[in-house]
Structure 1
Amino acid sequence: MKKEMWLWLLGISLLAGCSVTVPNDTVNTPAEQVSSQLEIQHEAPLIAVSEDEKVKVFARNEAQNELTEVTLDIDGKRKNFDWTIPDTGTKPQVFYTDLTNDHKEEAVIIIQTGRGTGLNHYEIHVVNGEDLSEMNVQHYEDIVAHTIESTITKKNDGTLAITIKAQGKESTFDYDFDPAPDINQAQLAFGGVVIYTVENQKIMLNIPGSIGISPIYVADVRIAYQFNRTNNEFLVEQIDVKPIEK
C-alpha cells in the first residue's frame, strides 16, 4: 500500500514538472482583439483625397460643426495642421502637382471658408511633399494693399468711370449705372469673392472688385502666382483686369 501511494505521488510530481511547447505565433486575447477593432472603428474619417490618391486629408478634431484640426497624409507621411474647415457643404479640393518647377510635387488644399449672397470665400494651403512644411502663399489682402489701385468717379449722367492700376498697367472702363448712389465709395472693395484654383501647375486667384454694401461686382481681377525661391514662397506674378459684363 505504501509503495502504491509513493508511485502515485511521483506521477503527480512528474506531471507538474512537464513543460508545454507554445507556437511562436502571437495570439491576442479577446480584450486585445476588441481594442484593435475599436481602433479601426475610430480611424479618423477621410474627408478629401487627390485624384492620384497620394494626398489624403483626415478629420482630426471637430467643434461646433467645423473641423479645427486635420491630419494630412502625403504618400504615407503624416502631419497635423490646425486648419479650420467649416461645414459649407463644399469639400476641400486636393491636388498633388509640381508648383515650384523642381520636378517634385507639392500638396495643395483649397478650403471654402464662407459662402452666401455675394460671398464666396476660399483659402489655400501648399505643403512641401518631402518634409510636410507649409509654404507661404501671398495673401490677397497684401496684393490689394501693395499692388492694386482703383478709383471710382461718379459721372453726371448717373454712370461710373472705374480705373484700376496694377503692375504699371492701367485699365479704365465705364459702368452704365450707379449701384450705390447714396454711398460715396472712392475705390473698389475686395474680399467678398476670393477663389483659388490650380491651372497648368500654377496657383490662380480671382478677386473681383465690388461697389456697394450689398456688393455689385464690376471688375474681375485675375492673379497668377509664381514661386520665389529666394523667399521660399508664392508671390504675385501677373495681374489681369477686365470689366464684368452685367
Structure 2
Amino acid sequence: MKNFFIKLSPILIIILVSMAMVTKANTAERVVGQLPEAYLTLYATEKKEGSLTTDLTNFTLKVKGHTYFFSRWMNVPNPTYYPELYYSDVNNDGKKEIIIVLTTGTGSGVVLQEVHVFHENNGDLVEVLVDNPVAIINKNVKTKSSNTEAVITIDNNKTKINFEELGIVPAHISENVGFGNKLKFKVIDDKLVAIVDASIAPTGGGLGEIHIAYMFKDNMYQAEEIKFIPFWKLEFY
C-alpha cells in the first residue's frame, strides 16, 4: 500500500492557520436577548481582535422552533447596549409583532440604532421596511438659526429656542441645526417611535428631540406623527 502525502508550501500553511485562528476567534456565540412571551431567543457571535470583543455579529434568531440567520447585523459589544427586544402590536392588527433594536454605534454624545420589525405570516417571520427617520426629518422639518436662537418648524408649528437660556456658548454654535448624533428606537404605548436629537453645537448644544411615531401603511412603516420636544420638556427614556 502506498502512502500519499501532500506537501504544503509555508505560505499556504500560514494562511490555513490564520483562517483557523480567525474562525476560532469569531465562534464565541452567546445569548444576547430573550422574549419568553414570544418563545424567542437571540444569539450572536462575539467578533474578537486579540483579547478584545469588537462587535456582536452573525446573529441567529430562534422563534417557536424556527431559526433565522442574519449575517449582516451588527451590534456594539458593550452589554449596556445589547439588543432591545419588544413584542407589541405596533401595526394595530390585533397580533403582536417582534421588534429588534440594534445599537450600531456609540461614543461621546453618540448613540446610533437601527430597527428590524417582523410580522408573522403563516407561522413564518417576514421583515417589514421602516422608513429612515433622518430622511423623514429632511422632508418634513425646517430649521433656521442665528447667533442667538434657532427656529424649528414642523407643518405650521414653530418652536423658538434661545441659546442663552440653554447656556449654549455662542462661539461653539454651528451654522445649521444638526440631527442624528443620537438616533434611537423605542416602542411606547404600542407605537414604534424614532427619537432623533437636534443640536446646534458638537458638544453642549442640545436643543431637544424629534419624535417620529410610525404607522403601518402601504406594506411599510411610515411617519404618522412628527413632533419636536424642546430640551426643557423632555422625558428621558
Q: Given the two structures, how large is their TM-score scaled by the length of structure 2?
A: 0.74
For residues 136-173 of structure 1, the C-alpha deviation after alignment (integer angstroms, 9 at most, x for no partner) is 1111221121111111111xxxxx22111123422223
Report 1:23-62 matches (<5 A). Answer: 44-60=29-45, 62=47
Report 1:220-239 matches (<5 A). Answer: 220-228=209-217, 230=218, 232-239=219-226
Of structures 1 and 2, the larger Rg is shown by 1
Q: Distance in 2 between matches of 1:214 and 1:201?
A: 33
Q: Which residue of 2 aligns with 1:245?
A: 232
The AA in structure 2 aligned to 1:243 is P
Q: Which residue of 1 aligns with 2:127?
A: 134
Q: Given the two structures, how large is their TM-score scaled by the length of structure 1?
A: 0.71
Q: Which residue of 2 aligns with 1:208?
A: 197
Q: Which residue of 2 aligns with 1:36?
A: none
3-state SS of paired residue (1:58): strand
- Using a 3 Å threshold, how does the CA distance of structure 1 residues 86 and 162 change in structure 2: closer, same or farther? same
Q: Distance in 2 between matches of 1:75 and 1:208?
A: 37
3-state SS of paired residue (1:52): helix
Identical-pair percentage? 23
Q: Which residue of 2 aligns with 1:110?
A: 101
Q: Does 1:78 align with 2:71?
A: no
Shift in Å, 1:193: 0.9
3-state SS of paired residue (2:135): helix
Q: Distance in 1 between matches of 2:40 and 2:87?
A: 7
Shift in Å, 1:183: 5.8
Q: Distance in 2 between matches of 1:86 and 1:121?
A: 10
Q: Distance in 2 between matches of 1:55 and 1:173?
A: 44
The AA in structure 2 aligned to 1:86 is V
Aligned with residue 77 of structure 2, among 70, 87, 99? 87
Q: Distance in 1 between matches of 2:162 and 2:142?
A: 17
* 193-202 or 116-125: bigger deviation: 116-125
The AA in structure 2 aligned to 1:115 is T
Q: Which residue of 1 aligns with 2:174?
A: 185
3-state SS of paired residue (2:146): strand
- Root-mean-square deviation (CA), in Å? 2.4
For residues 53-87 of structure 1, the C-alpha deviation after alignment (integer angstroms, 9 at most, x for no partner) is 52221125735521222111222222111211121
The AA in structure 1 aligned to 2:126 is S
- Using a 3 Å threshold, how does the CA distance of structure 1 residues 43 and 191 change in structure 2: closer, same or farther? closer
Q: Is the 8 A contact 1:88 1:115 kept in 2?
A: no
Which sections of structure 2, spanning at least 5 residues, go unmatched?
A: 1-26
3-state SS of paired residue (2:202): coil
Q: Which protein has the bigger strand share?
A: 2
Q: Is the 8 A contact 1:118 1:215 kept in 2?
A: no
Q: Distance in 1 between matches of 2:30 and 2:190?
A: 29
Shift in Å, 1:51: 4.8
